[in-house]
A and B are shown apart, each in its own frame.
Chain A
Amino acid sequence: MATFKDFRNSVKPNWCPGCGDFSVQAAIQRAAANVGIEPHELAVVAGIGCSGRIAGYINSYGFHGIHGRALPIAQGLKMANRDLNVIASGGDGDGFAIGMAHTVHAIRRNIDVTYVVMDNQIYGLTKGQTSPRSAQGFITKSTPGGAIEPSLKPLEVALSAGATFVAQGFSTDIKELTALIEAGIQHKGFSFINVFSPCVTYNKINTYEWFKEHLTKLADIEGYDAQNRELAMQTVMEKEGLVTGIIYQDLETKSYQEKVPGYSEQPLSELDMNLSEGQFNDLVKEFM
């Protein structure tokens, strides 16, 4: 059986020393090993930005697509091969700015894909512009007078879009993050995992220390029930989204694949492509 080392490759990440993304990468590798899959049974589909490079840093099938479109590519891939484990990944710009429509609709659609967002509240690769996750007043190259728009609330968006799995992690807590990703992979349906992954170069506000001070573990909240959607929404709003753990999981709702009429149990990529002469002639006759 594969260990997390088998999910390592020889490529040296081009992330800055101290970047939160290193831990996200490690957590994905550990989670994949923990759920007992082999490297070739995993595909990581990523977007564009610092975080997007993750698809090339894990020893698995990797697809580094275009900005904001990791989710449609990942969903198409999962539809083609339902036996494959598909993780989509990207940054907050990728998922909440250019790709926001795909995020909301992937959540609604509920195809069995795990989506890990590396949320650093800044545009890093383009060298420090505001992100939809930047706090109001946050000063960046593109918001010299401070960000005017309020920060997007991904957890609330996900819950109201009908998510069946919502979690949030912090990149220094690899143990918790690994468990969240593992749970996401095992969840039957779309799993949305937002991860605070600090940018040490361009975000001097939302630093490791800042998160340590502000984050609350849901595990520490007495009576928290991740299957209670109202409670989840209420807690997220009360804590202004600064929580970690499984926020909500719906264990009842079936995934998209299970709901599509006629969708093959066998991966589509393995189906016989040929129509028999009888099948073809029946189709032709319908037009006569």
Chain B
Amino acid sequence: MLHQLSWKVGGQQGEGIESTGEIFSMAMNRLGYHLYGYRHFSSRIKGGHTNNKITVRPTEVRSIADDLDILVAFDQETIEVNYKELTEKSVILADAKFNPVKPEDSKAPLFIVPFTEIATELGTSLMKNMVAIGATSALLNLRTSVFQSVVDEIFGRKGEEVVKKNMEAIQRGFDMMSELLGDRVGEWELAPADGKRRMFMIGNDAIALGALAAGSRFMAAYPITPASEIMEYLIKKLPKFGGAVIQTEDEIAAATMAIGANYGGVRSFTASAGPGLSLMMEAIGLSGMTEQPLVIVDTQRGGPSTGLPTKQEQSDLMAMFYGTHGEIPKVVIAPSTLEEAFFDTIQAFNIAEELQLPVIIMTDLQLSLGKQTTEPFDYSKIEIRRGKIAFDELEPAENKDYFKRYENTEDGISTRVFPGTANGIHHVTGVEHDETGKPSEAAGNREVQMDKRFRKLEKLNFNTPVYTNAPHEDADVLLVGFNSTRGALEEVQERLTTEGVKVNHAHIRLLFPFPSEEMASLVNRAKKVIVVENNKTAQLANILKMNIGGHNKTHSITKYDGTPFLPRELENKVKELLD
């Protein structure tokens, strides 16, 4: 009996590989399994190898599995590209149509199943995916009826006949596979799950839902991988809440439109990836200088330039730290789980309004697009804080002067007033300005306003800047990461702990302002520090060293080939550094 299943389906892009994974995952989710998915895809609509790897467990799954138990192949390329992940206990299920060949050094047996032939017999070759799902369920010793509710949901609107045919395809695949397995039936049975349903979503869904729960009713965005799902979700949902999404002509318009809408009094944001963020740098400066709230999501992908648009990377860190000319206060946060992505989005909107500055939510492709299960988000934990705003008509200012929108207050935070409010008239400008917003180049005023803007950061109210699992006072090693490497690091910590290594783990969730105090104490408690990140130049390690020192004991593990870290490769690299 398996305690974890790692299943992968692969073929040519546009062949329904994604939906095969989707149907399989949905059924497993309904049985109460925990899931973690990763899609390998290319920047093209049709053609090119694509695969969907799903890790299934009756207990919490934190990362993609190292190995593969079942590989479902719709072409020879899928076998060639992926067979190295297979072990002697694994199995390849391949469509008879392409005359599959088992590579000489493949440890796993090959089962040839006529997926396409069976599907064609039933009416359409499109259903070959369903036959494959049926064959998978025979391997796992699952009843085919577990797919009924999913098939009803997906094909229901196409009519009863289509539902029936698809269920028949699943059954035929099941029967054929059972026959092929003979007395090996039950070998790949998965330990039962608790039957409890969980949310099954991608990070982008969690962010979009977070924006909705935070009260954002306007979004301006330009499509880009891997961020588009955020706008697509809100295009569906916002009309139900009176709001709107505008697909702009470019990312410059997206960010500045969001600034305009925030100035108008509605929580607004945009979402993009590296290339879009490069275009938004000027707007980020405008938001900082004019003290207009702005939330931007940066779903990192492989850079530079167009880079690796559909691949994992964490290389925008320095750009988010330092991006935009001149100096402005800003906040950069980096969730590492679905739940954090949801609640951090709400936090981002709160901070943007409370401190009146740009807040960047950084994710990476693996977190944004990896589909995972998570416990339903807790409604009672949603909190909206808007900071200093004058909603009602104000008293007329002395001498008919403008309202002091940029009043030099003790905490640096001045009261916002939205256009349309009587006696609230003031000027907003990206030029250095006085307390009423009128342009002023006076040296004294410059310092006052600059200090005022930066003073606001002292009032930053961010819940849990660093996620820690640091049980050791004198750890052999402190593992440090951000965003989606969290699960792989947790896994490594667990494995090394069983081998007697004292491992602490810190995942940095607030990148700017950097949580120096907290990180310094963690670094001090460890003999070695290993910073793990998906980029070439060890950006996080450099930021860590820049802020708290520890140069002589800080080491880096970097990876920039476009794929996420898997626990075993990480474990081996950590061990090398510990020797």
Contact = CB atoms under 8 A, between A and B. Distances in A.
Interface of A: 9-11, 38-41, 43, 45, 53, 55-56, 59-66, 69, 71-81, 83-84, 101-102, 104-105, 109, 260-264, 266-271, 273-275, 277, 280-281, 283-284, 287-288
Nearest to A46: B429
B379 A80 contact: no
Contact of A83 (B209, B246, B420, B439): B420
A72 B258 CA distance: 8
Interface in B239-255: 239-244, 246, 248-250, 252-254
A135 B401 CA distance: 43
A80 B293 CA distance: 14
Interface string B395-422: 0000011100000000000000011111
Contact of B261 (A79, A101, A261, A277): A79
A288 B197 contact: yes
A80 to B, nearest CB: 3
A270 B266 CA distance: 8
B199 A76 contact: no
Given A264-B242, A277-B379, A288-B200, A56 B438 contact: yes
Contacts of A79: 218, 244, 246, 257, 260-261, 264, 266
A271 B241 contact: yes
A277 B282 CA distance: 39
B252 A273 contact: no
The 3 closest A-B pairs by CB, nearest first: A262-B239, A273-B215, A80-B264
Given A61-B419, A65-B256, A76 B429 contact: no
A81 B265 contact: yes
B570 interface: no
B212 interface: yes
Contacts of B267: 273
A96 B242 CA distance: 34
A26 to B, nearest CB: 19
Contacts of B268: 76, 80
B162 to A, nearest CB: 22
Most B CB atoms within 10 A — which of A9, A269, A283? A269
A14 to B, nearest CB: 9
Contacts of B400: 10
B444 interface: no
A287 B239 contact: no
For A75, A77, A79, A104, the residue with the greatest tally of chain B CB atoms inside 10 Å of its CB is A79
A56 B379 contact: no
B423 interface: yes
A76 B258 contact: yes
Contacts of A73: 256-257, 259-260, 263
A76 B427 contact: no
B238 interface: yes
Given A53-B439, A264-B242, A284-B377, 17 more contacts: A41-B420, A56-B427, A64-B439, A65-B256, A72-B252, A72-B253, A72-B257, A76-B220, A76-B256, A80-B261, A80-B266, A268-B266, A280-B213, A287-B200, A288-B197, A288-B199, A288-B376
Nearest to A83: B420
A72 B256 CA distance: 6
Given A61-B419, A65-B286, A55 B427 contact: yes
